[in-house]
């Protein structure tokens, strides 16, 4: 049986548990298959070690919305706005600001 992409990323993390690229890739795979709780946990691990430019914050905020955790979603959007501004991504910051207004 062929290993799934999720299994491959998880195996890679065994050898390198703080590799931010692997964590982000695993979170994207969880997103694709709708494993929201796993995606949240993985993105939280990723954001604890990575200097993200904003994208992961948006992914995490949307996952919190899906998981019916609006307060965490709002706080994550706020953090994403700051990260996006810091890294020169004004359109991303505006996208998250609009998402906050709608929530």
What does the pLDDT read at residue 2?
A: 62
Question: Which residues does the chain have with pLDDT short of 50?
Answer: 1
Task: List the chain domain ranges.
Answer: 5-102
What does the pLDDT read at residue 83?
A: 97
Matching residue, tokens 């694709």: 32
Topology of the domain comprising 5-102: 1.25.40
Report DSSP letters for 48-96, one per residue. Answer: HH----SHHHHHHHHHHHHTT-HHHHHHHHHHHHHHHHHTT-HHHHHHH
Q: How far apart are CA 90 and CA 32, in angstroms?
A: 26
Q: How far apart are CA 87 and CA 89, in angstroms?
A: 6
């Amino acid at each position: 049986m062929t290993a799934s992409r999720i299994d491959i990323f998880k195996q890679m993390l065994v050898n390198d548990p703080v590799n931010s690229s692997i964590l982000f890739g695993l979170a994207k795979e969880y997103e694709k298959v709708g494993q929201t709780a796993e995606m949240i946990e993985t993105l939280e691990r990723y954001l604890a070690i990575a200097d993200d430019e904003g994208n992961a914050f948006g992914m995490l905020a949307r996952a919190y919305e899906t998981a019916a955790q609006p307060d965490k979603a709002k706080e994550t959007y706020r953090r994403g706005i700051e990260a996006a501004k810091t890294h020169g991504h004004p359109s991303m910051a505006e996208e998250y600001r609009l998402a906050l207004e709608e929530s």
